[in-house]
Amino acid sequence: MRRIRIEELLASPEELAAFSALLARGGVAAIPTETFYGLAADPTSEVGVRRILALKGRDAAKPLLALCGDRAQLSRLGVAADAATLDRFFAIWPAALTVVLPLARAIPASQGGATLGVRVPAHDRLRALLSRVGPVTGTSLNRSGEAPCSDADEAARVAPREIDVFVDGGKTPGGVASTLLDATVDPPRVLREGAYAWPPS
């Protein structure tokens, strides 16, 4: 496993190109988020998604969420929500709020499903990275049933053989995971209470 500071990655066109190429060929990275460290792969890569599920020991039928840097990246994933719905959530994002939205077609991260949980994370440097490399998965970096990691050194020890690149962002805020909201129903339904209070005040 290679370890690189997120500032160093963002500052180097060569490192960014190598990171993008790694994800494109099914690579897996660890990334800092606004809550815990996450596992990043290309959401449209069957190889990358399979590697994350194997690393976590997770049910293969359970979908992975995707982290996006901007609205255009939702289109790249095939998100098919109407403009008014997206306007509503882009008035809130970036935030620790993961929203389940409809897809035009299933992708590997959705595990055959017609919906996908997406988030624009409230982490400036991560959003800067996403704007350069595209959307990635964002499931927490931990084995299923174990606690997620906010400490960089602790996170780096979880799966050193399975992770290709560890993007070190220092200690993350921790706390609780992002709120998970199903926006395929009206009104939206909270699937998991978390770091963002829903409904917003």
Q: In order along the chain (201 residues), what is the average pLDDT of each group of 10 residues?
A: 97 98 98 97 97 87 93 95 96 97 97 96 98 96 91 94 97 95 96 94 76
- Which CATH number do you get for residue 73? 3.90.870.10
Burial 102-123 (b: 16+ CB within 10 A, else e): bbeeebbbbbeeebbbbbbbbb
Q: What is the pTM of this model?
A: 0.95
Domains in the chain, number: 1
Distances (CA, A) of 102 to 6, 62, 65, 86: 32, 16, 13, 11
Range(s) of the domain holding residue 26: 2-192
pLDDT at residue 144 in the model:
84
Helical (H) or strand (E) element with 13: helix 13-24
Report yes or no on 198 lying in a domain: no
